[in-house]
Amino acid sequence: MALGGGLPKFVKDEVEGYLRCGRLEHGFLRVECTQCGHEELVAFSCKGRGFCPSCIGRRMNAMAAHLVDTVLPKVPIRQWVCSFSWELRYVMGYDKALTSDIVSCFMRTVIESIKRRAKRLLNLASVDACETGAVLVVQRFDSALRLNVHGHSLVLDGVYVKRTNDAAAENTEPEFYALPEPTEQDVQWVADTAWRRIEKVLKKHGRLPDDDSGYDALGDEQPVLGHCYAQSTHGNRPG
């Protein structure tokens, strides 16, 4: 299959940045110990987000430390993962607005599920009587390095409730209540409800899987990149 046009600039910039990463001839800092006078040359890094293992590793460690030290409370946490069909992975690979709306829809559904269970198990007057929290990260590949856009989320496995039975309770901190492990029915409710809502998001964006218009925005604007994306979702090498 002959394709013209080449790859877009951001792909070339990412690859060229990776090839320069950590090489002294492309710039460095001279670091000196103020006590012993020992000097060390530290090459500039590309700080890329694509596939540089060194830069991605540092970014991953920094993010993990930030979450543990300053964001996540010391309460039970459960991981929820949202995966999608191959057709959706292709369009989500380049449509960031669509991806943002889909993963946000999934996250709202998970949180709603937790608050509904909390209302039932803790005898709360309303789901608004409790709050929970989550952090979600979009991952773009799987263990086979295929294009596999999916969401990994860390969700508090319970809720915070602020009891307000008396005036003094208004000044107290909310108390965390851990919830039991979600049942198979709870997980199925999240899957079914999230998909119904995601279908509405897809319709809004004009991206329903059964759309037979045949229009492929990426393939039309960037045929080489579109071909690579399409092959990558199935683990094939672009021909």
Q: What is the pLDDT of residues 179-223, one digit of tens each?
A: 999 999 999 999 999 999 999 999 998 877 655 555 566 777 778
pLDDT at 4: 54
Same domain, 160 and 62: no
Same domain, 237 and 137: yes
pLDDT at 27: 94
Domain boundary among 15, 47, 71: 71
**Residue 1: pLDDT band by 50, 70, 90 thresholds?**
very low
Same domain, 189 and 113: yes
Query: What CA–CA distance (Å, rounded) separates 139 from 56?
Result: 12
Conformation bin of residue 223: beta by default, left when phi > 0, alpha when psi is -120 to 50: alpha
Domain boundary among 46, 71, 96: 71
Same domain, 118 and 18: no
pLDDT at 221: 75
pLDDT at 170: 61
Same domain, 39 and 63: yes
pLDDT at 169: 56
Domain boundary among 71, 87, 110: 71
Same domain, 151 and 103: yes
pLDDT reading at 2 higher than 50: no
pLDDT higher for 91 or 211?
91
Same domain, 190 and 123: yes
Same domain, 51 and 83: no
Same domain, 64 and 82: no
Q: What is the DSSP string of 151-179?
A: EEEEEESEEEE---SSGGGGGSPPEEEE-
For 149-185, what is each residue's pLDDT tens digit?
A: 999 999 999 999 987 655 555 667 899 999 999 999 9
pLDDT at 166: 54
Query: How many CB atoms are closer than 10 A to CB 164?
Result: 11
Same domain, 153 and 231: yes
Same domain, 27 and 93: no
pLDDT at 230: 80
Which residue spans within 38-189 are E strands per DSSP?
39-43, 77-82, 130-131, 134-141, 147-156, 158-161, 175-178
Structural domain range at position 131: 75-208+216-239
Same domain, 57 and 149: no
pLDDT reading at 78 higher than 80: yes
In this prediction, residues 34-39 reach a mean pLDDT of 92
| Separate counts of helices (H) and strands (E) for the chain | 7, 8
What's the structural domain count of the chain?
A: 2
Which residue has tokens 């992975």? Answer: 89
Amino acid type, 66:
H
For 95-139, what is each residue's pLDDT tens digit?
A: 889 999 999 999 999 999 999 999 999 999 999 999 999 999 999
In this structure, what DSSP letter does residue 69 have? I
